[in-house]
Structure 1
Amino acid sequence: MRVIFGDSRNMKEVEDNSVGLVLTSPPYYNAPFDFPDLFPSYADYLSLLNGVGKEIFRVLEEGRVAVFVTADVRIDGELYPIVADLIKIMQSLGFKYQERIIWKKPEGYIRISRRSGVLIQHPYPLYYYPDNVYEDIVVFKKPGKFIPRNKEESKIDVNKFQREKWYLSVWEITNVLPNNKYSKYTAPFPEELARRIITLYSYVGDTVLDPFAGTGTTLKVANELKRNAIGYEIDLELKDIILERIGVNTLFGKPQIEVIEREDAKRLRTKLREKIEEKLQNR
């Protein structure tokens, strides 16, 4: 397992055509709850997706898929079409748009929103603002053919597949709740979501890559499912959290982990600390 702290628009540590599956959740564009003012503009955000997409196309094996967990984001009343723009970007890079699955969160576990309450206060047309209870799981395939490896060891439990209704294009999975210890660092997707995707789209022994590793959900689950894992994360402040997470609950003790800290991540950490100090001084 490798964890590289650096900008995933340059994944020089990964060889061409060496990755069996990409599973990731990019930061949500300037989302009010999680990433306010992270990007100077929406164009900068799309440029990030394009840069990372180019590298994904390079490192992914032919015939394999890249899976993004993401959603449109509303900021100051404007809804940004992240999913549609991501599809356009990936298609322009040579990927085939293969699948779109809806991840539906239980109604009782979503963040409390005032949006739907507007109509209660103003019960008239054009005051309708629904609460969002879903995200998109978007699947892109790199053209070409691949030869399956470890087929029998990677066989999917058909009973589980049917019992939990994996065959539907809507998956009902409880989201990571705000009181979860990892929620205060990023906006992680649940391990069950990663487990389904890795099981359905990769084989035992494959390398699973997450270009936006966050707190390490993809890495942890990939290791548990006997896949190799590579994660990129630009925020060095998450180093201890990632290492703690992927080093627990493993069947044969802690996995062998190679950690690389690149200069671009170190520069970002210094820049962020300067911003924090500046804010504190201006209070």
Structure 2
Amino acid sequence: MTVLQPIAETDLSPNDEASRARFEGLVDLLGKPFARGDRYAIFQGDCLDFMSELPDQTIDLSFTSPPYNIGKEYEKIVPIDQYIDWCAKWIGQLHRIATSRGAFVLNVGYVAIEDRARSIPIPYLLWNRIAFFLQQEIVWNYGAGVAARKALSPRNEKLLWYVKDASDYCFNLDDIRDPNVAYPNQKKNGKLRCNTLGKNPSDVWQIAKVTSGANRSSSERTKHPAQFPLDLCDRVIKGFSNKSDLVLDPFAGSGSSLEASALLQRFAIGFEVRKDYCALAAERVRKALSVMPLL
């Protein structure tokens, strides 16, 4: 597992002060948070209610994994058309509040449709309901997962990287390069063939899931049943946002995205309907920052 390295104050963007003012203004606008720190705030409630209060063009990166409508403990299954309409509503709000260079990274899985599909990727149902420009689909591949007897065992989910402006967006390739290069010293015409910082990580990311169970539970495991791995958050936040940017997770869950954002010196806001998950995320972020103080 990658250990997130806090970013030194001396390495911050010159716009850090302006971003802080924007962050503080949004927190004040949203009311009393469930929990907050120097660079993060967690609010308990419906994300649609909170986002309706936010001004246009205020969030640099939204990164989330919504309920999949598959019957997890935090969701109630609704008809598929109703679910897609709901997704279109909150994604529409994310588009409105995204800055002109803003991005939205959506982690989604699969749903079943009676008499049509055992397991259809949610993006197939949403593709024409999203105002963002789809820059790229990223396949998140992992080793552990549920077993299957009458189909191939699922070992991937999708990350959809959306941008507001297809010609002007944030992409920090050097910050997320993969240093594991097979032939780092290979040359052509006397020049190195590969970037000394590493290779492009491609659109297939092999990142371990947060596992549970006796003798196999991940060290970062919490009581949340669907938890983002920090390695995944680290790559998304570094790659698609800049230092001091504002990051929003409308379905904060266990707080992985908030923890990574705060440690990487972004400003983070999270919405979560369940009080127990708010408490879990708040304690997790607080503990991480106390163990790894900002340099």
TM-score (norm 1): 0.72
Match for residue 263 of structure 1? none
Equivalent-residue separation in structure 1 for 2:291 and 2:75 (angstroms): 42
The corresponding residue for 1:134 is: 156
1:68 matched to 2:87: no
Partner residue of 2:142? Answer: 105
Q: 1:166 to 1:23 in 2, by over 3 A?
A: farther
Aligned position for 1:96: 133
Task: Tell me the residue number matched to 1:4.
Answer: 43
2:209 and 2:169 map into 1 onto residues whose CA distance is 34
Shift in Å, 1:42: 1.3
Task: Classify the secondary structure of the residue corresponding to 2:175.
Answer: coil
Please say if residues 251 and 270 of structure 2, whose CA atoms lie closer than 8 Å, have aligned partners that are also in contact. yes
2:158 and 2:241 map into 1 onto residues whose CA distance is 20
What are the Cα deviations for residues 201-239 of structure 1, in whole angstroms up to 9, with x where unaligned? 000000011111001110000001100001111112212
Equivalent residues in 2 for 1:1-283, closer than 5 Å: 1-10=40-49, 11-31=51-71, 34-35=72-73, 38-74=76-112, 78-90=118-130, 94-106=131-143, 109-111=144-146, 113=147, 115-116=148-149, 118=150, 129-143=151-165, 156=175, 158=177, 160=179, 166-178=200-212, 179-180=217-218, 182=221, 184-250=223-289
Q: TM-score, normalised by structure 2?
A: 0.69
Question: Cα distance, 1:70 vs. partner?
Answer: 1.0
Structure 1: gaps (5+ residues): 119-128, 256-283
How many residues are matched? 232
- Distance of 1:171 and 1:145 partners within structure 2: 25
Quote how far apart the aligned CAs of 1:87 are.
2.4
Contact 1:9–1:48 (CA under 8 A) maintained in structure 2: no
Return the offset for 1:253: 7.1
Q: Which amino acid aligns with 1:86?
A: L
The amino acid of 2:211's aligned partner reads L
CA distance in 2, matches of 1:28, 1:187: 10
CA contact (8 A) 2:88 2:129 kept: yes
Q: How far apart are the structure 2 equivalents of 1:83 and 1:14?
A: 26
* Contact 2:178–2:199 (Cα < 8 Å) also in 1: no
Moved >4 Å (runs of 4+)? 144-148, 161-166, 180-183, 251-255
Describe the SS at the equivalent of 1:248.
helix
Cα drift, residue 141 of structure 1: 1.2
Matches of 2:66 and 2:98 in 1, distance apart? 18
